[in-house]
Structure 1
């Protein structure tokens, strides 16, 4: 397992040549919840814009972009969020395998290409990282599943 934490990425500023342009407030995912597409960024002018993951370089202390033009306007942000999902919308969902609740989603671990490599879930025993594969589904809490024993 491994990868980079969505929670960690959301704490990094978006910068171009060291100048902070904004902060990510959410991670935008595809409809199938298999890949991160980009970030919803709250910019310094108080506007929300879409930053495609493909144009950002993840550094230790920033999400680096080459140009402010990489931040797409609100219409593109709406386009991607309506056709996909967001990390904020999925946080708290249950991770389920064979109708058994494995835990509540608290973080995503992303591979270098943006695919979701694993899920971090809260269980009664603490946090656990699970491989995210075809037999694991994310479901709204309150669904008809039983807790893992």
Structure 2
């Protein structure tokens, strides 16, 4: 799986989206929002696709891009200690009411949990009720 995700994201083999999509099964729970963890827009442009939303689109799963982020160092190039020191700020439009909402965060890979932790911090400030996390691989 590590090799597949590496080829998909870093070697820009977008066709692997089909294989990933066929392997994943999202929880059968009614969420208010399914929210992909974003990558910086500069990375998506360079790659020509977003690794998470491309899979969700292929599976025809409705999602909301509530979170946005700025360009930061690649996590794959950092050790665990350095990752914990990098601030991953996620922004959410203030016009979206998330109070008491149940959210599913979707990301491609769960390594240290720092990305999810930082996304959760942004969501809990908005008084969400609960969130679950789904990743393609760990």
Q: Give the TM-score category using the shorter length.
A: under 0.3
Q: Which structure has the highest helix share of the two?
A: 2
TM-score, structure 1 normalization: 0.24
Higher RCO, 1 or 2 (CA under 8 Å, sep at least 6)? 2
Q: Which structure has the highest strand share of the two?
A: 1
